[in-house]
Amino acid sequence: MNLEVKHDEPGRRYYAVVENREAVCEYGLAGPAEDKTLDFWHTYVPPELRGKGIAEELVRQALEDVRRRGYKLIPSCWYVRVYIDRHAQYRDLLA
């Protein structure tokens, strides 16, 4: 899927606009900023867009950005946790 995912760092979220609807993966800091650990706590795709692989691509691109930036993460969101369980190449990002 060709999905343009943007990072809204001040809003602490990754998002994509699909068919004029917004899908998001939200996170927060999991401790002091210098620890470089993020808590991914919520992923949302509007019901009418589900089943199209949007959440999967959104999370994949978010995790790639986390890796590029040198952060670790805590997958509090069930979807992010399942995604990492299914894609072993991202397990090194776990805090």
Dihedral (Cα; 5, 30, 77, 20), 10-degree rounding: -30
Is pTM beyond 0.85? Reply is yes
User: What residue segments make up the domains of the chain, in order of their start?
Assistant: 6-93
Yes or no: say if 91 and 72 are a contact pair by the CB < 8 Å rule. Answer: no
**What are 26-80's pLDDT values in tens digits?**
999 998 888 999 999 999 999 999 999 999 999 999 999 999 999 999 999 999 9
Fold held by 6-93: Aminopeptidase (3.40.630)
CA distance 14 to 73: 14
